[in-house]
Every structure is written in C-alpha cells, then in structure tokens.
Structure 1
Amino acid sequence: MSFAHRLKIFAVGFTVGLVILFVVLNKRQGERKELTAPPTAEAVQREAVPGVLEAYRERRVAMDSKFIAEQHRKPLPGKAWMRILILRGMDPEQVLRIEEYTHEESGVDLVDRVVVMAPDRVEVTLTADATPSELAQAAQPLGCHLLAKTPDGAGVIVGLGGSSLDDYAQAVEGLQALDQLVAGVQPVIYGEAEPFKEDQQKD
C-alpha cells in the first residue's frame, strides 16, 4: 500500500475505524438489561479489544477518537513517540488503557506497535516469602485490593483504586515500594499488534 494511500485513509479519520468499538460498547449497554447477571469489568473490557486492534491494523495511524478521555505523550529517540491513552465508553467498566509506539512520516504519526491492557488492575509477582494475605493488608492503604491469583500461581491480580493515568501510575509506584512483598509489577495485557511489521509481511 502506497504512502499516499495511507494519508488518504488518515484523512478519512481513524474515528471511522473506531466504529467497531462504538458498536460494541453500545451493544453491551443495550444487552445489559437482558442479562440475569451483569458481566465483569474485565469481560466488558476484553470484548472491545479485537475491534480496537483491527482498527489499528487497518488504519495504522495514531488514534483520534471521542472516546479518548486522557492521554500522555513522550518522545523516544529517532522521531518516535510513545503515547499512553485511556479510552472510556458509556459505562464505568467500559474503559481500556492503550500504549502506542509511533514514528513520524511527513507529519503523520504511524503506529509501529500497540498494546491494549487493563486500566484498573495489574499483575503482581510476590517475593519468595510473601503471602497474598500479607499483600492484601499492605496494599489496602493504597486503595488496592486482591482480585485473584495468576494462572501460574506465582502472583496475584491486584485491583487499583481507579482507572485514570494518575491512578495507575500512583498504584504501581506504591506497590513497587512494597519491596519486601512485591518482586515485580506488570500490566494485565489483553492484546497487542505491530501494524507496520504485519503490513510489510503482507506486501
């Protein structure tokens, strides 16, 4: 696909690609009334991920959408950028955290890699002698709470006090400071894509 064609797609607007997300969010809101038990926040978040990744693969440009509630952009070497943004839908649980890694061509930010993750939870690896109950007690003053054990049993999923960029950063910093209990803090990743590499492979 030529670069001129990419710019034409960009001019149409990445918001078009986010129609998938809009449909999913509103469909979920409509179906909510028909469910006997509401879905978990994680289930609602994960449902939107395929549409978001597909939109990035099709457009390959930095997101521009009315669903962006917050964003933070910082420069990387070689005219590259890393942007963290929060997508927020109609309901409180309709929220995603996205990390974009882009480079600039002719004034357009093209996406090299995108990672979609949970905005309100992280995976915590415990130190050898620590227990989940000890972490639960220590994390409570941070506004955090334990949700579940990780599938491998080596750590726990910790719910944060909120889903904003500041909530996430403060919680991660606070958990990392509990170094007698916490060996590491990692994001809960729902999906990722490398649109530029995937597009080159197609060509």
Structure 2
Amino acid sequence: MGDLHTDLAELRGSVASHVPAEIAEVLKADREKFVGMVAETAAKPGTAMPDLALPDANGAKVPVATGPAVVVFYRGAWCPYCNLALRAYQRDVLPELENLGVKLIAVSPQLPDGSLSTKELEFTVLSDVGNELGRALGITFRLAPETKPAFDTLIGDVEKINGEPEWELPYPTVLVVDRDGVIRYIDVHPDYTTRTDPADVLAAVKAL
C-alpha cells in the first residue's frame, strides 16, 4: 500500500517548481478562500443521497443513490491531484470494497467523452454535467474570474472541458452511502491538494 499523503506532498513540490510564481499565488489564494466555507453548505451524514442517474463514459445512465457505495468527486482528468488520488483509491481501496460488495464510483463535471482519459480505472466513472449532483450536495464552488487566466494557462479551457458556460467545480469529496441510499460519511476538501486517506474511506465503509 502506498502513502497517498506522501505522494500528494511530492506532487505539491513538483507543481510548485514548475508553475510560474504569479500563477501559484493566484491559485493558493483561491484555495484558501474556500476553506471553512464548505462546512455550512455540504450535505450531512444521515441525509439521503440525491436520487440522480449520471452518464458513464459510454452514455449509459447509472444511479448514484444505490448503495452500498463509495462516491468520489474529483475536479477532472486534467487535475494531477485527482489522478493521483483516483489511482490510490484503485490500488488501496477498491480490492477491499470488492470483497465487501461495495461499489466505487468516481464523479466529475467533465463531459463523458472527456472522462475517457480515466479509462485505465477499473471502477465506474460518471459525468455530473452542469454539477447537478454536486450542487445538490452543497460541494461545488464558482471559480473567481481572476483565476481563469491562471487555469487557462495550466490546463486549457474548463468551459470547453465541462461543456458548461458556468465556471463551477466540485470540491474533492468522498461519500459513503449505505444500502438504503443514506449518506453515512462525507469528507470535503476545499484545498484540492489534499485528499481523504484510503484508510479513512475503508474505516467508514466498515462502520456501515
């Protein structure tokens, strides 16, 4: 089992050494602005998972409230922190979930064809186009206009990637949903350079 926290720290260092200082400052200020705000808006354990069905990479609709399941929200395949975390969950969480009969589902606002870049993943990847599910869970945020040039420089046009004019993304979030479709665990990360530890995900599942 690798160590996700160590890998994320190494990635933070690598990104810091490659990203121009002025862009890094804009992104850091943007991250810090949202820390603390999400506690007000995010869904609480004990509430029902919204009864929505989202398309997978082939366009088939998959219900997300059918548990037991671990649902991982990520920003998009363009985000290196997301890719690192998804690979860690595949390596360190998925085998145990399969033993327990629990699904692993990843969700981002990227268009379905864009999500195909995650095709090396061995679990379901869904597209929450328009952030309908993320917004219902209270885990989305609007990017400030002044951060757009920084994002465009690093990753290209998020509007094109997500097929939406609104510049909205989900916070990286892990939810554990029980067999009745009730949220039993939610961990939201306004700082997208941090993620839920695989051991915490498994502990939440085993507590069902």
Same fold (TM over 0.5): no
| Greater strand content | 1
Relative to the length of structure 2, the TM-score reads 0.24
Larger gyration radius, structure 1 or structure 2: 1
| Greater helix content | 2
Question: Per chain length, whose mean CA-contact separation is higher, i.e. which structure has more relative contact order (CA < 8 Å, sep 6+)?
Answer: 2
